Amino acid sequence: MLRTLLAASLPALVVAFSWVRLDEGGAPVYAAVALAIAPVLLPRLGLRLAALAPALVGALWIAFGISPLEARPRDETHEFFGPLWSRFTDGLSGFYDVRVPFDGAEQPNMQGILLIAAFGFCVVLSLAVASRKPILALLALLAGAGWPLTLLPSGGVVYGAILLVAALWLLAGLRVERPTPALAAGALVVLAATGISTSPAIAKVIVPASAVIPIAASDVAVATCGVYATSRISSGTTTTPPPTPKSALMKPASSPISASFTRVS
């Protein structure tokens, strides 16, 4: 069982690191991951599945601060499923309205979604390792570590190398006798991670051509009468831009709109 735990530990840490990057405050994702991989210490699949129930309760308490153990029948002040659903949907919708990385202290429900996602992927990963299914474990590694890259891209080559090390660690820990299919899946892991982390079409990054509501400096044209045209040109009137909207753009404008000048002679 110790070898299984070691084989699942490094890939689980890579998945945890991928998700914790989205929270500037540092979510307690490693505690949730520890709960996810703890059942692999048990000898049989039935016992591992049974151990997932208390592990899930602990993960929900870490993520959303609520527990089914505190629920009371017919007591609205001690409900479980209603507050859980409300916080889950609020955190999920936050990823469409709030730019990442976010502050977990200001967005606790988004932080809860992050923790539950890392917990779920690590559960699948650890159970696949314990059941000696390397391809399933590699796919769980790809999905768990690759999904955060669609929200916050990272260096493709470096991150691909990290995933390759995690995949090789996984295969070595499982002692795969015929590693060709598993190595092919590992290559898919690296190529997909590199492509996801460098593709602007997949990554949730918006690069606008201009600001939200661009306002150029402007002034009223003035005609003068004389022998020679004036050489002094006013740069215009400075205009205060509107306030930043609640749902800010993922990336500021590459270049603001420039003011135009017209000389009247």
For residue 141, which of 173, 118, 157 has the smallest C-alpha distance?
Answer: 118
Task: State the pLDDT at residue 206.
Answer: 42
Task: State the pLDDT at residue 121.
Answer: 94
Q: For 60-89, what is each residue's pLDDT tens digit?
A: 999 898 887 776 666 666 677 888 888 999
Token couple for 199: 């593709």
Token couple for 137: 């474990």
Task: State the pLDDT at residue 113.
Answer: 92
Domain ranges of the chain: 2-198, 206-265
For residue 53, which of 33, 63, 39, 73 has the smallest C-alpha distance?
Answer: 39
Task: State the pLDDT at residue 203.
Answer: 41
Q: Which residues of the chain have pLDDT under 70?
A: 71-78, 154-157, 176-265
Task: State the pLDDT at residue 167.
Answer: 84
